[in-house]
């Protein structure tokens, strides 16, 4: 990712911005790189999490974590004083990580009681996350699959899991809120 911006005075050396979607939410990673001083600053969701001043080596990498998720920003020289910035999440490029995440979790985004609401199902654990908070759930077997029940405020919700009948598709998960099916969102 190549980016140059000086819109924010505290980040006059901002060179890259990424969004990393995890179960607990979408995290914004901002990276500052002072190409004259070697300064490197990593911001996570608006908070500074790592700073290195006065580095003589302008290329290399910086590691940090989002919760328990390991991340690494790579700084590579492209030509002259141009640099390319990439991020790895759990050892994979952001694109590969995001593709893998879409296989292991479903996400629904909606407005509930005038509040933007992000609901995530972790398919491997069947954990439900709402706006970054893991919820208590109750599982129930039905004639055609399972239902994982939970509440958001006064709203009755459940994720229904049924077989697609096709080996390649596997299990299909649907979110039902107050009796209405919510379409899933690709992040």
Average pLDDT per run of 10 along the chain, which is 187 residues long? 43 90 94 88 97 83 96 91 93 94 91 95 92 94 94 96 85 95 83
Model confidence, pTM: 0.79
Which residue ranges form the domains of the chain, and what is each CATH number?
9-90 (2.40.128.180), 105-182 (2.40.128.180)
Rounded Cα distance, 181 and 105, in Å: 18
Spatial contact of 63 and 31, defined as CB atoms under 8 Å apart = no
What's the pLDDT at 76? 93
């Amino acid at each position: 990712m190549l980016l140059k911006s000086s819109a924010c005075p505290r980040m006059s050396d901002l060179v890259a911005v990424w969004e990393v979607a995890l179960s607990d939410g979408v995290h914004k990673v901002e990276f500052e790189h002072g190409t004259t001083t070697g300064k490197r600053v990593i911001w996570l969701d608006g908070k500074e999490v790592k700073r290195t001043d006065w580095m003589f080596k302008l290329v290399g990498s910086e590691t940090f974590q989002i919760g328990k998720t390991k991340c690494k920003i790579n700084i590579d020289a492209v030509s002259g004083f141009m640099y390319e910035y990439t991020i790895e999440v759990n050892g994979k490029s952001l694109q590969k990580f995001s593709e893998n995440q879409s296989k292991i979790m479903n996400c629904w985004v909606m407005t509930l009681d005038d509040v933007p609401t992000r609901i995530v199902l972790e398919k491997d654990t069947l954990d439900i996350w709402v706006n970054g908070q893991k919820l208590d759930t109750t599982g129930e077997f039905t004639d055609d699959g399972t239902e994982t029940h939970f509440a958001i405020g006064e709203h009755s919700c459940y994720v229904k899991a049924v077989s697609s009948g096709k080996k390649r598709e596997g299990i299909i998960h649907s979110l039902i809120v107050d009796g209405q099916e919510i379409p899933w969102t690709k992040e």
